[in-house]
Structure formats: C-alpha cells, structure tokens
C-alpha cells in the first residue's frame, strides 16, 4: 500500500465510487460478498488499491497544506516543481495559535518582535504525491491557501 487505507467512515462516504471501482474490476455485488467471506485477504487488497487510487486523486489536486501547532505555523504551497514553505514562530509564551484568542493576537501583532518568519523551498523527491502525503501524515491539513497567500503578500 502506497498511502493509507481509508477509514470505515471514508469508505462509506465513497460507497458509490467503490461500487464503480469494483465494477471496473469485473466484481459484482454478489462476488464482493463472497470475496469478503471466503477470501478476506483479497477483499482487503481491493480496499487498499481503492484507497491508493482515491489518495492519488486527492494528492494530485492539493495545492496548499497547513500545519498549525501551539507556537508555529507551517504553510505549504505545493507547486508543480517544488514545495514552498512559509513558517511562523511565536515567541510569546502566553499565545496558542490554535485558539481564537491566540490567532487574533497573532493577526494584530504579526510584525512584532515576538513573531519570527522563515521561508524555504524544496524540490520533490521521486514521487511528489508521497512527499505531500508525508506532510499530511505529520499533521498538515489540506486548505485553499488563503493564509499562505496572505503571508506571501505581507512578506513581499
């Protein structure tokens, strides 16, 4: 498996797509039920292949990721050739960026001495989707990129 198996909830949400996937494998509903009972390993393999296909489709479209912790924000712009990072570090010990109050403090004080910035870029490895997925495994979430774009503008 290249990525990660979809959760039961995700599979339920993607039930119509999974049925279409099974149909492309020439597996009917009755055959699927039989497979699950008599060859659970094969059924698990089919779920893994489907999960990888879904992840591949999602990762192909991802342009922005964010990983926000108590004192840091890592904002990624995933371009065709490289991953660009805008990193923010809060030096004020009383601030937690994960809270509304902490983020509000940051928006008002983003130019203060209590905020440090770093920008970097890195070329992808052999498989850019594996690199993207690695960031997601580390806690990044897919976004539309508003925060990254705002930072990009203020840092120019």
Question: Domain spans of the chain?
Answer: 8-61, 64-155
Q: Closest by alpha carbon to 149, among 68, 81, 76?
A: 76
Position 107 scores a pLDDT of 87
Say what the pTM is: 0.85
Each residue's pLDDT, cut to its tens digit, for the chain (156 residues) gives 999 999 999 999 999 999 999 999 899 889 999 999 999 999 999 999 999 999 999 999 999 999 999 999 999 999 999 999 999 999 999 999 999 999 999 989 988 899 999 999 999 999 999 999 999 999 999 999 999 998 888 776
């Amino acid at each position: 498996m290249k990525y990660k198996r979809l959760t039961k909830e995700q599979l339920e949400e993607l039930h119509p797509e999974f049925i279409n996937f099974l149909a492309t494998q020439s597996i009917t509903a009755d055959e699927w039920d039989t497979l699950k009972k008599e060859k659970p390993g094969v059924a698990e393999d089919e779920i893994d292949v489907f999960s990888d296909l879904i992840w591949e489709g999602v990762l192909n479209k991802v342009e922005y990721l964010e990983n926000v912790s108590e004192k840091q924000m890592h904002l990624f712009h995933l371009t065709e050739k490289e991953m660009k990072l805008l990193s923010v570090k809060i030096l004020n010990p009383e601030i937690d960026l994960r809270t509304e109050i902490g983020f509000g403090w940051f928006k008002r004080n983003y130019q203060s001495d209590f905020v440090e910035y770093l920008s970097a870029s890195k070329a992808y490895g052999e498989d850019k989707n594996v690199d993207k997925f690695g960031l997601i495994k580390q806690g990044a979430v897919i976004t539309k990129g508003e925060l990254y774009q705002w930072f990009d503008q203020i840092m120019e």
